[in-house]
Structures are given as C-alpha cells and as structure tokens.
Amino acid sequence: MTKTLKKTFMIIGIIIAVLLLLALAAYLALSHDYSGSPPVSVSDCTNPHIAADGVTRVSAHRSGGGIAPENTLMAFKNCVEDGSFEIDIFEFDVHITADGQLVLLHDDTLDRTSNAVEHFGHEYVRPSEYTYQELYELNMGEGFVTDSGETPYKGLRGEDIPDDLHIMRVQDVFSYLSGHGDYDYIIEIKDSGDLGYASCDELYRQLEAFGLLDDAVIGTFNAEVTEYMEANYPDMLRSASVSEVAGFFIDSLLGIDREDGYYKFEALQIPTSYYSGLIYLGSTRLINAAHEHNIAVQYWTINDAETVAELAAKGADAIMTDYPDMAYEVLRSGE
C-alpha cells in the first residue's frame, strides 16, 4: 500500500470516527426526555447566584440593549428608573483602554455602536488603541435602532451628545447602581492575552473596591484569561469555559457524578443549544446536575417570552435578555 493511499484511508477513518461520535451525541441528546424531570430542590445550595427561592432572575443583557443604547448609562437608567419592571442582574462586557481603564463594549470594535469610524478616520477602532478621554468623545447611541427602525440618537456630536450616551467605565456603572439597589453582575472580559490579563487585574480591583466580589460572576472565551484568573484571583467567581461546559454537558448526559470540588466554576453561562440545536443545553437534566454541584445556570440571550417561561419552569437561575421588561412580565406574571 502506498504512503498516499495509507494517508487517504487514515483521513477517511478520522471522518468516520467523527461522524460516529456526532451520531452518538445526537442519539443521546434525542433519546433523553429532559423536560420530564422536575427541578431539584435548591434550598440547601450555598452559591449566591443560584435562585434559592425558586424565582428565576431577570438579567439585562448589554444593560437592556434592546430597549435603549446598549451598555450606556441611558440603558442602565432605563432599567433602574422605569418603574414598570425590575432587574436582578446586569450583564455587560468590558475592554481595556490604552490608559488602563475598563470600558463597556460588546463587540471587538466600536464601529457598530458608535461614530468611531467617522471620528477617528478608520475602521476597526479598538478600545485598546485609545485613552478613555479620547473614547469619551464618541456618541455611543449612534448605532441604536428601535424595533420600529428608528435611529433617535444618530448624528449627535460634541455638546449635543447627552451625558448618558458617552462610553462608560466599570466604576461608573458600580457608582450609579450602588445608589439605586442591590444588584448582581455578569461580566465578560473580551480581551485576550496581555490585554485580557490587564482587564482581569483592573476588574478585580474595582470589584474589591466596591465590595462586589461575591456579587459578580466573570466570564471569558479566552482560556488563558481563565487560567490567569484562577492563578491570581481565586476569590473571583467565574463561569465555565467552553471546554468546561462541554465536559459538564457530557457528564450530565451520561449521569456521571463527580466528587465535590471537581468543577472549578460557579456558573454555567450558556445558550439553550449549540450547532443548530444538535447539542441541547436547555434541559432540566443539565440544570438539576448543576444545582446538585452548587453551580448556577444562567442562559443567554433569550428574547422571546415562550423560551423565558420554559427555562424558568425547568429551574433556570437567570435569563439574560435584551428585553428585560418582557422577561420581567413573564417571570412575575404568576405573582
């Protein structure tokens, strides 16, 4: 057999093995009746991010970015001062600036949400390239579009930009919210590598200064930042990494019961499914398994009432949504 032919057979074998594993995963996922199991009791759980009272919490994703410009003071004000709904948790993302400030931004660049391209004269404007004061000049409501297609803040420049539409730092968020209630936080560190490490340092400093270390769960999609967090800030609560979510999913699917302390994270921050629904994470089985290990389950990003109600019935601890007013109405309608 020639070397080329051997290589061909090896590739075919790998493809077949992968297909068999996918088929097995699909079979296991589809052959378990997840919704049939009732939620387990969480009254004995000590994790503060588990809804011990059984009432699923409302989390404003991007500070309620569906009803006001995301991650702005205007959005926070809308959630806190509206009066028709209440927020339990605020979710937002952070990047570090050139002068070491942590600012709120979901995307890798400021292009979509602000007038950064026009202001700085180039595309792909990253927070790490500019100081906080330089970024403060931007209109962070520039890209906001209402559900009816209107752009109420587009074109505002200079002194016409309202104070609550400038870019925010984490300390600005904590300072404002500390005067309006007792809130929890879901915060994602967006930067990787050295920028991610610096973000972690500054975030820890701010959380400690405001006494919020136990009130925030920190997430990142960068494995090296997770490792840095574990090594340097073991008292910082964190969510599971992508690989840890995969491992926990398999354990719950196969009924593998790990010993206490095996899982090093405090929360699963997950969507309801991956890979077009092939891997389903919105199950009572998974939620129960998490609670049995004192792990909170927080879902993103749920923008329809039916799924909000479904996940709440299964025992989800929190629902992250761009429309917290909608989620509040669904979750509190039975009170």
- 255 occurs within a structural domain: yes
- 237 occurs within a structural domain: yes
- 37 occurs within a structural domain: no
31 pLDDT more than 50: no
33 pLDDT more than 50: no
* Mean pLDDT, the chain, whole residue set: 90
- 309 occurs within a structural domain: yes
Can you give the pLDDT at residue 32? Answer: 47
Question: What residues have CB less than 8 Å from 311, skipping those under 6 apart?
Answer: 56, 272, 282, 299, 302, 319
- Tell me the pLDDT band of 255, cut-offs 50, 70 and 90: confident
Q: How far is CA 57 from the centre of its chain?
A: 14
159 CB-side CA count, 13 A: 0
Confidence (pTM): 0.87
36 pLDDT more than 60: no
* pLDDT one-digit tens code per residue, 63-79: 999 999 999 999 999 99
CA angle 128, 132, 133 (to 5 degrees): 135
Can you give the pLDDT at residue 19? Answer: 54
Per-state percent for the chain, helix, strand, coil, to nearest 5: 40, 15, 45
* pLDDT one-digit tens code per residue, 115-149: 999 999 999 999 999 999 999 999 999 999 999 99
What values do phi and psi take at 167, rounded to 5?
-65, 145
CA gap 4, 203 in Å, rounded:
53
Alpha-helix residue ranges (DSSP H) falling in the chain? 3-30, 73-81, 116-120, 132-136, 170-178, 193-209, 223-232, 242-254, 284-292, 305-314, 324-332
Of 229, 174, 230, 196, give the one whose Cα is nearest residue 94.
196
Question: How many residues make up the chain in this entry?
Answer: 335
CA gap 135, 138 in Å, rounded:
6
Beta bridge partners of residue 321, listed in sequence order: 60
- 97 occurs within a structural domain: yes
- 31 occurs within a structural domain: no
- 18 occurs within a structural domain: no
Q: What is the CATH classification number for the domain harbouring 174?
A: 3.20.20.190
CA gap 127, 102 in Å, rounded:
9
The DSSP line for 61-83 is ETTTTTTSSTTSHHHHHHHHH-S
Q: What's the number of domains the chain is made of?
A: 1
Helix and strand element counts for the chain (H, E): 11, 10
The boundaries of the domain holding residue 134 are 42-332
CA gap 290, 281 in Å, rounded:
12
b vs e for 284-297, b when ≥16 Cβ sit within 10 Å of the residue's Cβ?
Answer: bbbbbbbbebbbbb
* pLDDT one-digit tens code per residue, 172-224: 999 999 999 999 999 999 999 999 999 999 999 999 999 999 999 999 999 99
CA distances from 118 to 114, 154, 157, 164, 333 (A): 9, 12, 11, 21, 45
- 34 occurs within a structural domain: no
